[in-house]
Amino acid sequence: YQRRVHGGTKVNISKEEFTGRVVDWYALHREKAKKAGALEEDQQPLVDGYAPFCKHLFIPNFLEGCKVPVADITPENEHLLRTGYISRTDTELPVLSRWFPQGSVPAQDANYLDIILYSNEQIEKERKAMGSPPLERPEAWGIISVKAQVEPHETPMQPITIMRNSLIEEGGSGVSISREKYQISLDYWKTRAPIS
């Protein structure tokens, strides 16, 4: 909702309705886990992310017409790829990116939404590094991204996102690059590109 340029998942309902549906889903599934005796941590059904301040909720897609904004690169479509320097917000460092233009390749229907959450502490840390005022919100966690996916698990972030994340002053989270995770990302993204 707050990005200047964003070719990712299109959320076609209000921020309030979307957030309400996510909170309702979380409460229902947390209660089910408690009743089943499966609640070993107070964070289920949250799934750990790439850093301690990051969590995921993998929710069945409830957005009408929501498409996965990623396509495989094939010999038949690679000529459609575009490149340019892109920043996700006005304050973020632009980075070299590649993408398929919207409508140039077919997009799959999304089966799941990967709701990516950051701790309130991390959100405020990043806001401060970017010169933004504090939000002063009571919630412990906040939604920072929504990824439409086919899979009910985390897919690797793009290599450039891993690099950007290491630079908190330029819009990242301040997490150092892991060569192992970077290689997993390269292996995944060398045959895929976002649709933007």
Angle formed at CA 8 by CA 167 and CA 137, multiple of 5 degrees = 60
> First and final CA of the chain: distance in angstroms?
16
pLDDT of 99: 96
pLDDT of 55: 95
Q: Rounded distance, CA 78 to CA 57, Å?
A: 33
Q: Rounded distance, CA 99 to CA 75, Å?
A: 15
For 92-107, write each residue's pLDDT tens digit: 788 899 999 999 999 9
pLDDT of 42: 46
In order of 40, 43, 83, 104, 190, the CA distances from 79 in angstroms are 50, 45, 11, 10, 15
The mean pLDDT of 143-170, rounded to a whole number, is: 90
For 128-137, write each residue's pLDDT tens digit: 888 889 887 7
Instruction: Specify the pTM.
Output: 0.85
Mean pLDDT of the residues in the chain: 88
List residues bridging with 100 in a β-sheet: 195
For 26-60, write each residue's pLDDT tens digit: 988 888 777 777 655 544 688 999 999 999 999 99
Angle formed at CA 147 by CA 176 and CA 191, multiple of 5 degrees = 75
Residue with tokens 């009743």: 35
Which comes out higher in pLDDT, residue 117 or 86?
A: 117
